[in-house]
Amino acid sequence: MREPPIRGPQLPADALDRILTARPEAAGLPAEAYTSAEVHAFEQELLQRRGWVCLGRTDQVAERGAQRALTVAGEGVLVVRDTETVGVFVNACRHRGHELVRSGCAVRRATVWCAYHAWVYRLDGTLRAAPRFGDLAERDPVGMGLTPVRSEEWHGFLFVNLSGDAPSLAATAGNLGPLLEAYEPAGLIRTAEHEYEVSANWKLLVENYLECYHCPSTHPELSKVQRTTHGLDFEDRGLWLGGYLDLDNDAVSMSLDGRGPDWRFPGLDEERARQVCYHALLPGLFITAMHDYLVVHRIQPLAADRTRVVCEVLFPRALLDLGTDPGYAAEFWDVTNRQDWQACESVQRGITRPGFTPGPLAPEEEGLGRFLATMAFLYRSGRSPSASWPTPAAYPGALRTAATAGTTAGRQAR
């Protein structure tokens, strides 16, 4: 059963309504949306607990018995690889709640084992042994087993839905799944991982990702290898937003010097191979797809003004087998990431200054405007995420252009 709507946070209703009905004249969210502990708690409940959150790649628990303890919306979960499947459980022993693996740590064991009184669980979560409890493990291995958390694998990514009642992940991601298939994401190899802690609200990172209006001034290196003004927003059906921009004519790849392998995923035609495709699956997975590799950002809100980001570079096996050194991608995105985080931190400081009033959005910021409208809708409705939003019907004024037809592209925007 779906959980009921929750009361939205105390934000100026007129500012939210302006975003919902009068874009693009209306501008950003009120500053409190980026600073208030109440808004943060609301978003944690509605988006992180009731939505689908990406925990990473399934190959991070590749071998049987691999176990990782992670935190989602303040709750501890344990990811466990069995022979064929990956399971996710509440990271608490069924006896008296001791953590099974310390949060943030990874182990590899033949069983899940509690260090407190030595209860033992199989890798599928069922209870195998409880010392001095007689035949408890034989009598009720499932009932006394680990508490499962709803999870799904999607293109090599592992997602959880803590509340257990979100629409399916496939429905939530909508047409993003089919769009990504050409990049064969399930089989990609992780070649680099960078972690950052950004002193800014997570929404500023999403907003920043959804526009390249800032690129010429913020990213000198990126602006040499990718065109920053010609592109299209995708016709997104599902809980995601995105668009693409073309590689510069003189660039082969997204790298600091524009050089890279003259190779493309077999499923891409020549035109698509020249596109840098940006996709933000809400609330926190950015997938940037290019002809030779993918870069993925996972966005984890830690507090109203603090966000953890994990950035991973994923390469196709076929390209690595040709002897390609994938370092050019990690180097390029680390430079670009740091520029972005610096900008987001500066915005966080700026919008919270007394007297700041949000200004209008540029035409290139259409995608970001749609994200703001989505958030304004959430604050107003308190409704859980579902595959049916954002939709033009939910806020017709805000999404006046979204119904534009197209196979992958909707409208000129970037």
Site residues, Fe ion (CB under 5 A): 340
194's contact among Fe ion, ligand FES, none, with CB below 5 to 8 A by partner kind, is: none
CB of 79 to ligand FES, least distance (A): 19
CB 301 within 8 A of CB 264: no
340's contact among ligand FES, Fe ion, none, with CB below 5 to 8 A by partner kind, is: Fe ion
| 58 vs 228, beta carbon nearer Fe ion | 228
DSSP 27: B
93's contact among Fe ion, ligand FES, none, with CB below 5 to 8 A by partner kind, is: ligand FES
Q: Which two tokens stand for residue 170?
A: 């496939």
CB of 192 to ligand FES, least distance (A): 37
Q: Which residues pair with 200 in a beta bridge?
A: none
95's contact among ligand FES, Fe ion, none, with CB below 5 to 8 A by partner kind, is: ligand FES
Beta strands in 179-238 (DSSP E): 189-198, 226-234
116's contact among ligand FES, Fe ion, none, with CB below 5 to 8 A by partner kind, is: ligand FES
114's contact among ligand FES, Fe ion, none, with CB below 5 to 8 A by partner kind, is: ligand FES
CB of 80 to ligand FES, least distance (A): 16
What is the enclosing helix (H) or strand (E) of 92?
none
46's contact among Fe ion, ligand FES, none, with CB below 5 to 8 A by partner kind, is: none
CB of 121 to ligand FES, least distance (A): 10
- State the DSSP string of 140-169: -TTTTSPPB-EEEEETTEEEEETTS-SPPH
| 145 vs 231, beta carbon nearer ligand FES | 145
Query: How far apart, in whole angstroms, are the C-alpha atoms of residue 308 and residue 302?
Result: 7
CB of 149 to ligand FES, least distance (A): 18
| 45 vs 340, beta carbon nearer Fe ion | 340
| 154 vs 244, beta carbon nearer Fe ion | 244
CB of 170 to Fe ion, least distance (A): 30
Residue 145 backbone class (left: φ over 0; alpha: ψ -120 to 50; beta: rest) = beta
- Residue least distant from Fe ion (Cβ): 340
119's contact among Fe ion, ligand FES, none, with CB below 5 to 8 A by partner kind, is: ligand FES
Strands 409-412 and 306-315, sheet pairing:
unpaired
| 78 vs 180, beta carbon nearer ligand FES | 78
Q: Which two tokens stand for residue 59?
A: 């190959």
Sequence-distant (≥ 6) Cβ neighbours of residue 414 within 8 angstroms: 211, 212, 228, 229, 230, 231, 232, 233, 243, 244, 245, 364, 367
Query: How far apart, in whole angstroms, are the C-alpha atoms of residue 334 and residue 231?
Result: 24
Q: Which two tokens stand for residue 201?
A: 């609200």
| 102 vs 230, beta carbon nearer Fe ion | 230
| 148 vs 358, beta carbon nearer ligand FES | 148
| CA distances (Å), origin 28, targets 23, 63, 243, 357 | 10, 46, 20, 9
CA-derived radius of gyration, the chain: 22
CB of 193 to Fe ion, least distance (A): 19
| 142 vs 303, beta carbon nearer ligand FES | 142
Positions in the binding site for ligand FES (CB under 6 A)? 93, 95-98, 114, 116-119
DSSP 83: S
What is the enclosing helix (H) or strand (E) of 378?
helix 366-381
CB of 98 to ligand FES, least distance (A): 4
